Structure 1
Amino acid sequence: MAAKQKKQTSQENPTPNWHAKAKEAQAYGSVIEDMPHYLDAKVRAKMVGHLNQLLADSIVLRDLYKKSHWQVSGPTFYQLHLLFDKHFGEQLEVVDTIAERIQLLGGVTIAMGGDVSKLTKIPAPPVGREEVPVMISRLLQAHKIVMQECAKISEAADDAGDQGTNDLVVSDVLRPNELQSWFIGQHLVDAPLVHTK
């Protein structure tokens, strides 16, 4: 028994091997060539390129909502603080859904902040706090960019016979973005609290 214990101990090393290095398993921009999918690799590669653009812009939009949630102030603080956080959570789901589609098509998702910032079409906000109307305007512009990308991808997916991507960008990305932009856009309507004659 003691010999067996000694043998196990001599083979085990309690120090984590955290210096592991290897080549990339799959390069960004490539797709798995031979996989059980009805779309051919060229079509999947094209869709993955479009979806990575949408993913980058959606990640930035998601993060704009968290920045706005943290930095909002003023008389509408409570309502917007909660609304921005709700929209952040919804965008988190949108981002995950897009990323899963990219992987399903045999591609590699863009993921890291530095890489996302190089690809996104959404202008970067200042590090500091902005006034509420500017925050909302920035969010609305980001939504517009995402929705325009959805329309472009939907058309390309339809032309390529990629019903899965078409359905995803319309149902899971475009519609939530339309609804969110409507909700926050209403905060910029110049309407008096009381109508007088």
Structure 2
Amino acid sequence: MTSKDNSKAALIDSLNGLLADTFALYVKTKNFHWHVRGPQFHDLHLLFDTQATEIFGLTDLIAERVRKLGGTTLTSIGSIAAKTSIKDEDDTRLDAQAMVKELFEDNSAYVAALKATKELAGEAGDNATDGIIDDWTDQAEQRAWFLREIIA
């Protein structure tokens, strides 16, 4: 395998990790949308739904980048679980502020993963992936900002 092939393989692997994190972040955000309660219920219920919709919209874009690069994508819940770095949260009684804090931390980690993937795209000479990640990063930074501003 050449250095360029290795760079491309590393980029595909990173994109699949990003895809797994995107699915996991979507499910966690939707979970919090369904289970949030308390004085901020209305606003957080709507915010979490808006963010979940935005996150889900990235899944196809990321998977299609993998396919355009000649790779294969994640194929199952198991493959997502094996690749994600987003921690599950199954406690449906979590208070609203704890939900916001978790999503802020997860979206901040997601930004770091995006930046690492962008670096790999540069190393692989993949200008298309390098460029599109800027939009995904801006979206994730906005989600993190909105969440950060809610944390008391």
Does 1 or 2 have the higher relative contact order (CA < 8 Å, sep 6+)?
A: 2
Count of residue pairs brought into register by the alignment: 149
Following superposition, which runs of at least 4 residues in structure 1 exceed 6 angstroms of deviation?
none
Distance 1:118 1:127, change over 3 A: farther
Indicate if the aligned counterparts of 2:7 and 2:120 stay in contact, CA closer than 8 A: no
TM-score, normalization by structure 1: 0.71
> Could you tell me the percent identity over the aligned residues?
31
1:156: how far off? Answer: 1.7
User: Superposed, which structure 2 residues align to 1:22-61 within 5 Å?
Assistant: 41-61=5-25
1:92 maps onto 2:92 in alignment? no
Q: Which residue of 26, 30, 39 maps to 1:75?
A: 39
TM-score, normalization by structure 2: 0.91
Task: Please name the residue that 1:185 is paired with.
Answer: 148
1:130: how far off? Answer: 0.8
Task: Please name the residue that 2:105 is paired with.
Answer: 141
Provide structure 2 residue ranges, at least 5 long, that are not aligned to the other structure: none
Instruction: Describe the superposition over 1:114-133 as per-residue Cα deviations: whole angstroms up to 9, x where unpaired.
Output: 22112111111124331111
- Structure of greater Rg: 1
Structure 2 distance, partners of 1:66, 1:166, is: 28
TM-align CA RMSD: 1.5
Structure 2 distance, partners of 1:86, 1:45, is: 33
Provide structure 1 residue ranges, at least 5 long, that are not aligned to the other structure: 1-39, 191-197
User: Superposed, which structure 2 residues align to 1:117-196 within 5 Å?
Assistant: 117-171=81-135, 173-188=136-151, 190=152
